[in-house]
Amino acid sequence: MKNNYTSKWVLQRITAIFLVPLTFWFVYQCVSFQEFQFQQMKSFFESYVNSFLFLSMMITMLVHAKLGCETIVIDYVNSLNLQKILKSLINITTILTLFLVVGAIFKLNIMQ
């Protein structure tokens, strides 16, 4: 997959297809979040359906964002060394964010 640009291009589109309904769902939920207190927010994520949809959205969004940011780096950054550094930063940020989300959902659902 390292230099398989066709696979990355296809994956970028597949994640985009999944993100359309998931993002609409999340933005719609965000409207009610404005009036939510802590307990209501916690209850929202304690629901398996909400957690599953949120986790699916975040994982898909992170893959989509990683692929998109990498493309931008390849297109605009001339120096190959700087490209490598930026790509590593993108990978580290993606992995850390993924751990953060999975950990948070795990704590809200399993360790409640």
Partner 1 sequence: MITNRPLSPHLSIHKKILTSVFSIFHRITGIGLSVGSVLIAIWVSLIALGPKFFFIFELLASSLIFKSILFLWTLGIFYHLFNGTRYLLWTYGLGMDLKTVYNSGYLILFLTLVATFFIWLI
- For residues 50 and 97, give the distance between their C-alpha atoms in angstroms, rounded to a whole number: 19
Q: How near is the Cβ of 92 to partner 1 at its closest, in Å?
A: 11
**Distance of closest approach, residue 88 Cβ to partner 1, in angstroms:** 16
Binding site for partner 1 (CB under 8 A): 13, 16-17, 19-20, 23-24, 27, 30-31, 38, 41-42, 45, 54, 58, 61-62, 65, 68-69, 72, 75-76, 78-80, 93, 97, 100-101, 103-105, 107-108
Instruction: Work out how close the CB of 27 gets to partner 1 at its nearest, in angstroms, rounded to a whole number.
Output: 6
Distance between CA 24 and CA 19 in Å, rounded? 8
Give the three-state DSSP class for 1. coil
How many Å apart are CA 22 and CA 19, to the nearest integer?
Answer: 5
